[in-house]
Structure 1
């Protein structure tokens, strides 16, 4: 009887100790999904679809893993924001300041980054389908190993951009500025370079160029020649 009682009290004591330990040990902080939008807001993993946040100051905010499809960030201030692994279907960042923002492994479809400021932004291993970057500034942006099928970078500033191993089939760079851009290993099937000066790009090889599209206004690096199929028919 005594042994049984001692064992019971022992288990009670152990259970109480576990409860106290759980209460005393600091628990990981949770994102404030109900927090009002503002600079440095933490919406990690939050459902924030179809919101109107045009012009909002969200500088250095955390949206990692957030669902942002259909949300409007037109003209918003998002410099230094973390957008890693976020979902961006038909999301608008037109004219937004995304300087240094991180979109690593994010997913986007038919979203709008036209005229956005994306200097030094990171798109490593991002998967973007039919996204518009028309007139955007991607100076020194990192698009390494990203998948950008049928994206539109026409008239974009791409100087110093890293497109190493990027997948760019049927993507449009018409009129883009690409001095110092790294195209080593990029997949350029039917990628359009009409009216683009490619003379200052890095890593472009003839085998890549043979898959791409250009015209008489395309300027090539020394040693490379325009394929016989140029100009490509309109699609």
Structure 2
């Protein structure tokens, strides 16, 4: 009679649940790219011009004094991300989740923020000249001293006058 293989031993339930529920940790040394997970990573002072990080996880990451000019950050999750004094000239941030993000003194001239969720974001002294805010959610956003000259306002129809500081005139 042929012998049957030994039955497989199941993993203990606690170990199996640990393996299934283990969080995916950010790999802060991973190169910039679409869907990169840089959650809680520090990228202060980095040159990230022109990179494509569409769909990236940038929750609570910091980019203080970094240059992200011309980058594509479409549909990123940047909840509470910090962009203090960063350059985001012409950066595409369309449909990104940037709730409570901090853009204090950042330069977003010509940036695309169409459909971006910027609720409770901090944009104090931020340069938003010629930025496109069509469909952006700005509830609770602090635009104190922000330069909105020439920006397309959230309705997609109105262009902010020059000068427009702190609000779209």
165, 171, 180: which one aligns with 2:140? 180
Determine which structure has more spread, i.e. the larger CA radius of gyration.
1
Q: Structure 1, unaligned stretches of length 5 or more?
A: 1-56, 64-70, 197-208, 214-223, 228-235
Compare relative contact order (CA 8 Å, sep 6+) and give the higher one, 1 or 2. Answer: 2
Structure 1 CA distance for aligned equivalents of residues 27 and 100 of structure 2:
19
Aligned residues: 141
Structural RMSD (CA): 2.3
119, 122, 147: which one aligns with 1:159? 119
SS of match in other structure, 2:68: strand
Distance 1:60 1:81, change over 3 A: farther
- 8 Å CA contact retained: 1:61, 1:78: yes
From the two aligned structures, give the one with the greater strand fraction: 1
Structure 2 CA distance for aligned equivalents of residues 150 and 114 of structure 1:
15
Structure 2 CA distance for aligned equivalents of residues 108 and 58 of structure 1:
24
44, 47, 52: which one aligns with 1:92? 52
What's the TM-score, normalizing by structure 1? 0.55
Q: Are 2:17 and 1:61 aligned?
A: no
Structure 2 CA distance for aligned equivalents of residues 72 and 79 of structure 1:
13
Q: Structure 2, unaligned stretches of length 5 or more?
A: 1-23
Q: Which residue of 2 aligns with 1:150?
A: 110
Render the CA deviation track for 1:104-125: whole Å, top value 9, x for unaligned: 0001221110000000000000
Distance 1:144 1:60, change over 3 A: farther
